[in-house]
Amino acid sequence: GAVVSQHPSRVICKSGTSVKIECRSLDFQATTMFWYRQFPKKSLMLMATSNEGSKATYEQGVEKDKFLINHASLTLSTLTVTSAHPEDSSFYICSAADRATGKLFFGSGTQLSVL
């Protein structure tokens, strides 16, 4: 089946540094990718929707300057957490919509810990 590769799976960084998370669709093209964030024992919250070649659409309350999203190709979207702080520690997960079928596939997630 279709695979979405998300990397890294776990990252620990110091406060004030930036972290980039990659999301790749390995055997399909994804015109749309979604980025979610999950707090412990909470739902996955949609952060933003990225469309290939255009600016991402951010959900209310999500700082676009803090969570930079780039969707430069049909198989790659990146989320950069800039100037990370401990409150940014969370589980981030991406989802890609297959251009051909519209089906959604998920990455395995990234656990970010900011010290």
Partner 1 sequence: GNSVTQMEGPVTLSEEAFLTINCTYTATGYPSLFWYVQYPGEGLQLLLKATKADDKGSNKGFEATYRKETTSFHLEKGSVQVSDSAVYFCASRGRALTFGSGTRLQVQP
- What is the smallest separation between the CB atom of 2 and partner 1, expressed in angstroms? 10
Other Cβ atoms within 10 Å of 39 Cβ, number: 11
Residue 52 exposure: Cα atoms within 13 Å on the Cβ side: 15
Contact between 108 and partner 1 per CB under 8 A:
yes
Query: In this complex, which beta carbon is closest to partner 1, that of residue 67 or of residue 105?
Result: 105
Site for partner 1 in 38-67 (CB under 8 A): 41-44, 46, 49
Tell me: does residue 17 bind partner 1 (CB under 8 A): no
**Which of positions 74-93 make contact with partner 1 (CB under 8 A)?**
93
Nearest-angstrom CA–CA distance, 109 and 35: 10
CB of 38 to partner 1, least distance (A): 8
Residue-wise DSSP of 21-44:
EEEEESSS-EEEEEEEEE-TTSPE
